Amino acid sequence: MERRKAIYPLIGFPIWYGEGRDPSALMSSIRRAHFDYVEVSLDYPWPFKDVSRLDEIIGEAKRKGLKVALHAPWRDVKLSSPIEGIRKESLEFFKSALMEVRGHFEYVVLHLTTDQTVERSEIVRREALEAAIDSLRTLIGLSRELGQKLAIENVRESVSQIASLASTFPELPLCLDVGHLISSVTRMRGDPREALSEWAERLAGRTLVVHLSGVRKMGKYVVDHLWVSIRSPLARFAVEIIKRLKPGYVLLEVFQNSKGEDVDPSELKGVVRHLKTRLGGI
C-alpha cells in the first residue's frame, strides 16, 4: 500500500535588508533546517535601492528549491491614518513599491497601521477603519493587475476590527501574527488565549498565513519576534490554534535565539520538525 504523504502548511524563515550573510550559504542553511519558503521583507531601501542584492536573494532562494513570499513595506507607511494626506502619501509609496517587484510570490502580507490612539478613542478607531478600507480598495485592484495575492496582517487591531475588514472584503485572505495579537492583548490587560480562540472561531476559514514568534513581557513593554519555546504552555496553545486555522503558510518570525543573538536557521530545525509533526494532516 502506498504511504500517504503528510500534509502540513509550508514553514517559512524571514529575510530582511539587514541580513548580511552570503545569500547562497544562507539559503543552504535554511534548506537544511527543512524550511519550505522564505518571506522577504521589503524594508527600505528595498525595492528601490540595492536591488541587485534583493534579486540575488530571491534568485538564490528559488535555486535552492525554496518558495518566496513578500512582506510589504511598513516602516513610515500609514495606510490606516485618518489624516488623509498621510494616508494618500503612504498609499502612493506602497503602490510604487509593489510595482517595482516582479515575478510570482506565494503572498504579499501588509500592515494597515496608524500611529493614532485607536485603543482609547472610538472616533479615531472608526476613522482609522474607514481609512484602511479606502486604502484596501485601491490596493486590491492593483494587486489583481499585478497578479499578487495580498494578505492583511494584524498589528494593533483587535480581532473584531480584523473581522470587520474581513467581512468588507470577503475575497481577501488574512495573516494572523500571533506575537502581535498576544502583545496588543497583554498591553490592554486581556487574555491572549481568549483572543487566539476568538480568532479561530471567527476567522478560521480566512487565515492564509500565520506569523509565529515568542513573546516576553519586559517591564511595561511586551516584546515579540523572540525565540519560540515549544515547551511553553502558551506556545503549545498557539500551535493548537494554528491547527484549527488550517493555514497554507506558517512563518517562524524569529530574529533572536534564546541568548538574544541573531538567530541562525539551523537553530530552528527542531521547531520546524515539531510544527510539521503537530500540524501534519491539516
pLDDT value, residue 189: 83
pLDDT value, residue 219: 73
Distance CA 45, CA 59 (A): 18
pLDDT value, residue 281: 59
pLDDT (tens digit per residue) in 41-71: 998 999 999 999 999 999 999 999 999 999 9
- Under DSSP, is residue 259 helix (H, G, I), strand (E, B) or coil? coil
- Under DSSP, is residue 54 helix (H, G, I), strand (E, B) or coil? helix
pLDDT value, residue 282: 53
Q: How far is CA 82 from CA 88, 90, 129, 140, 231, in A?
A: 10, 12, 8, 20, 42
pLDDT value, residue 108: 97
- Under DSSP, is residue 15 helix (H, G, I), strand (E, B) or coil? strand
Q: At what angle do helices 233-245 and 178-187 cross, to 10 degrees?
A: 120
Consecutive 10-residue runs of the chain (282 residues): their mean pLDDT?
A: 61 90 94 97 92 94 97 96 97 94 93 88 91 96 93 94 95 96 88 96 96 83 81 92 96 88 92 93 56
Q: Grid coordinates standing for 40?
A: 522577504
pLDDT value, residue 1: 37
Whether the CB-CB separation of 143 and 100 falls below 8 Å is answered with no
